[in-house]
Amino acid sequence: MPKNNNVISSRSRRNRYKVRICNKDMRHIMVVHKTNKHIYINVTDLTGNALFTISTLDSTIVDMVKGKSGIDRATLVGETAGKRLMEKGITTAVFSRGASAYVGRVQALAEGVRKSGLVL
């Protein structure tokens, strides 16, 4: 039975994206995961060790995100993640959006990180 062309194209697109991420110079990777209510960032180095994780559920920003829209929440999470990376002396990172399109909350998250001074 032939496979669905949409599945094949999404897999090949994901693999092309992974190759581009892995071929970057020794930078840290910001992996984004989003659900219907929350958005998460996991920052790792190239060896796979997690530096930190931040989300809308993080105790430092949970009070600031209450009552805000999803895009405003994502921007706030991005700014906080960028500030934490700058405190650790990291100035560049690779933004891995996974299978999510670069629109809406994912785009707002990246803009928040850039606003804090980090180069993606």
pLDDT digits (tens, 9 = 90+) for 60-71: 888 888 888 889
Domain ranges, residue 53: 5-115
Burial (0-12, 13-18, 19+ Cβ within 10 Å), 38: middle
Residue 120 placed within a domain? no
Residue 73 placed within a domain? yes
Instruction: Indicate the pairing of strand 28-34 with strand 39-44.
Output: antiparallel
pTM of the model: 0.76
Domain count, the chain: 1
pLDDT at 22 over 90: no
Q: Give pLDDT, residue 21.
A: 58
Tens of pLDDT, residue by residue over 100-114, are 778 889 999 999 999
Mean pLDDT of 5-27: 62
Residue 17 placed within a domain? yes
Distance (Å, whole) CA 46 – CA 89: 16
Q: What is the CATH number of the domain that holds 109?
A: 3.30.420.100
Looking at 2-6, 48-52, 110-114, 116-120, which range is the least confident one? 2-6
**Residue 1: band (very low, low, confident or very high) from pLDDT cuts 50, 70, 90:** very low
